[in-house]
Structure 1
């Protein structure tokens, strides 16, 4: 009976943890539609997920923390724009990501842009709020910078 109880608690905890995971969109048009509906800006995370040391560090120190998760659910719609070296991507995803890299003038990774999604004449566009990258000091320091950008709107 004790084993069943322990197993049940484990699975309930596992389900609760999975339910709290953040949704990182890769389809920017889908994310824009959600951002417009929920009246939230997009957080566009430009990353080289499988080769960029600073990107991996930002993920570990900030983007995968409970503090960031709580903040993100309330404040932004998350979009990951990845430029991997060894992970295959569809041509459509590559074109979308490189188009956004050019549109936002991203020259290095990680870069995080905050932008308001808009559709003008049926075409997607953005109102850029500001950008940041890796910030030393963990989630508290990073979120202070992010809130400063979001509070400018």
Structure 2
């Protein structure tokens, strides 16, 4: 009986830890590499501005260079609606936890630039008006002005 109770506690505890796994990993990586964290809330299969953001900015070579140059750690908290695009229960729970913490109004798309401690440095509600080059330059400027 004691073993079963211990096993149940371990499973519950492990599920709680996993809920913030990507963010905690991103914070550690950002701290270790002096990077920022870009957290994006999207509805990849129903939100037209989200789809445009990913196609025109997140998917651009300029944005990808932010990751390879150790400027940002990117996290996408996706909330798809179509059955074929559903996420694992763990990822759904983690995205919901991220939304509770950083997007309680449920704005889509909503993009947040965080420091390695999780403090919000800049946010974009909806589709950013700038193109990928200007968006990336703004992030680089913010990083250059940070005392990491």
| 1:101-116 to 2 correspondences below 5 Å | 101-106=99-104, 107-116=106-115
Match of 2:91, SS state, is: helix
- Determine if contact 1:41/1:76 at 8 Å carries over to the other structure: yes
CA deviations 1:105-128 (Å, max 9, x no partner) are 35311111111233xxxxxxx222
Count of matched residue positions in the alignment of Structure 1 and Structure 2:
121
Where in structure 1 do 4 or more consecutive aligned residues deviate above 6 Å? none
TM-score if structure 1 supplies the norm length?
0.68
Counterpart residue number, 1:44: 39
Q: 1:92 Cα shift?
A: 2.0
Match of 2:51, SS state, is: helix
| 1:4-15 to 2 correspondences below 5 Å | none
1:130 aligns with 2:122: yes
Question: 88, 105, 117: which one pairs with 1:90?
Answer: 88
For the residues of structure 1 that align with 2:137 and 2:128, how far apart are their CA atoms? 10
Q: CA separation of 1:150/1:112 partners in 2, compared to 1, >3 Å: closer, same or farther?
A: farther
Q: CA separation of 1:109/1:151 partners in 2, compared to 1, >3 Å: closer, same or farther?
A: farther
RMSD between aligned residues: 2.2
- Determine if contact 2:35/2:73 at 8 Å carries over to the other structure: yes
| 1:142-153 to 2 correspondences below 5 Å | 142-147=135-140, 149-150=142-143, 153=146
> Which 5+ residue runs of structure 1 have no aligned equivalent?
1-25, 119-125
- Greater relative contact order (Cα < 8 A, sep 6+): 2
Match of 1:117, SS state, is: coil
Q: CA separation of 1:137/1:40 partners in 2, compared to 1, >3 Å: closer, same or farther?
A: closer
Q: CA separation of 1:92/1:111 partners in 2, compared to 1, >3 Å: closer, same or farther?
A: same
Match of 1:135, SS state, is: coil
For the residues of structure 1 that align with 2:116 and 2:50, how far apart are their CA atoms? 24
